[in-house]
Amino acid sequence: MGLLSTPRKVVVLGSTGSVGVSTLDLLEKSAAEVEILALTAGGNVDKLIEQALRWRPQVAVIADEARLSQLRAGLAGSGVAVAGGAQAVIDAAAMGADWVMSAIVGAAGLAPTWAAAKTGAVVALANKESLVCVGPALIETARAAGGTVIPVDSEHSAIFQVLQPACVDKVTRLILTASGGPFRSASLAAMRAATPAQAKAHPNWSMGAKISIDSATMMNKGLEMIEASYLFAMPPERIDVLIHPQSVIHSMVEYADGSTLAQLGVPDMRPPIACAFAWPDRLEWPAPRLDLAKMGQLTFEAPDEERFPAIAIARQALRAGQGATTAMNAANEAAVAAFLDHRIGFLDIAAAVTETVERLDRDGELIAGASSDVLENAMTIDRRARQRAGEVIDRLRLLAHG
């Protein structure tokens, strides 16, 4: 009997974000046999109500407790239980699903993803921060519980699909492709003056605000390099980034015999979600098809690390260790939030991340302490980094207005 021949119990963490919406759309279009145990959202209560009335999960969870009464009113009489708060999201992740989509953006997704991994579920991982902050421990925790982690980012999904397990020791490079974002050809002066609206205007992908800014700074590639190193046990010097504006080749694996294998597809999150849902099977659904003749040409270029220093920042953090990658992620979240709030400029994002990690390293604060709890250690460093990033952001803001 095949994997897809019986209904699967599903939890979608971050169901109202772009990946969560794509996940539910895929499940609907494929007519997959699923039982939705839980849908969770951060603050988009109207969308969560709409989804819960369509899918009838056992529970709908809103992380923002201030919106719980609105969620309760919207689902009154539906038979769907409601809950609110960070712990309720973690509880939903641990409900015992067969398959958990981890699509909460940022470090807020770390604890729920960890909880899901401990249940033995297949964790479809779209939350970069989980791997960046706890690294191989997440994969080991899932495996020990009888589950697995399958990446959903299009780049890591591509590598996952073409990396031959029997030939891992013959891999010479993992090549992550990047669109280059909205500022691929922009000058430093134009980037310095960039507004949040300009930075969010991605040329190929439809994403949330934070991920769109990460794409514009190319910090998303930095985070993906760290993820790739942990997911595929690859040293940082064997992971490269290549600008590919058409976003058709999602990543490549280069082997010692000179072969380079690539996975291609239209820029759409649903195919990698379908891969994670059905693996090692394949899910039949009305997928968008790639027409290379119509596209005409695919182009490539090396990234400019002067205009996009995030790649070098991430590579250095990866070499420094997990404390540095956790701090880098936290500082980036704080800096992106400050930019979106018009408190710092676009180029200040990378500057804030660099200075935050350097200050923490100088003060010996990249080591959490004596606790053996991996998650607790990661959260300790995350808190320290956010506090220090706040100080750095305030200094940069004063400089800009002084």
SS3 assignment, position 89: helix
Q: Where are the alpha helices (DSSP H) in 61-177?
A: 68-74, 86-93, 110-117, 128-134, 136-144, 154-162
- pLDDT reading at 29 higher than 90: yes
Contact 214, 332 (CB under 8 A): yes
The two three-digit tokens of residue 26, written as one number: 């895929």
Domains of the chain: 3-151 (3.40.50.720), 153-266+289-304 (no CATH), 321-402 (1.10.1740.10)
* Band (4; pLDDT cuts 50, 70, 90): low
The two three-digit tokens of residue 327, written as one number: 């701090």
* Separation between Cα atoms, residue 381 and residue 383, nearest integer Å: 5
Angle between helices 348-362 and 322-340 (to 10 degrees): 140
SS3 assignment, position 175: strand
The two three-digit tokens of residue 356, written as one number: 């935050």
Establish how many alpha carbons lie within 13 A of residue 138's alpha carbon, considering only the half-sphere containing its beta carbon: 32
What's the mean pLDDT in 70-77? 98
Lowest mean pLDDT among 85-94, 187-196, 371-380: 371-380
- Which amino acid is present at 9? K
First-to-last alpha carbon distance for the chain, in angstroms, is 69
Q: What is the pLDDT of residues 140-181, one digit of tens each?
A: 999 999 999 999 999 999 999 999 999 999 999 999 999 998
DSSP state of 210: H
* Separation between Cα atoms, residue 244 and residue 157, nearest integer Å: 17
* Separation between Cα atoms, residue 121 and residue 101, nearest integer Å: 10
- pLDDT reading at 208 higher than 90: no
DSSP state of 107: G
- pLDDT reading at 205 higher than 70: no
Q: Is 247 left (phi over 0), alpha (psi -120 to 50) or beta?
A: left
DSSP codes, 13-33: ETTTSHHHHHHHHHHHHHT--
What's the mean pLDDT in 75-102? 98
* Separation between Cα atoms, residue 338 and residue 331, nearest integer Å: 11
Establish how many alpha carbons lie within 13 A of residue 388's alpha carbon, considering only the half-sphere containing its beta carbon: 27
What's the mean pLDDT in 39-49? 97
Lowest mean pLDDT among 80-89, 228-237, 392-401: 392-401
Q: What is the pLDDT of residues 254-313, one digit of tens each?
A: 999 999 999 999 999 999 999 999 999 999 999 999 999 998 999 999 999 999 999 999
Please give the pLDDT value at position 402: 58
Q: What is the pLDDT of residues 261-274, one digit of tens each?
A: 999 999 999 999 99
Please give the pLDDT value at position 2: 46
* Separation between Cα atoms, residue 228 and residue 64, nearest integer Å: 32
Matching residue, tokens 């988009």: 44
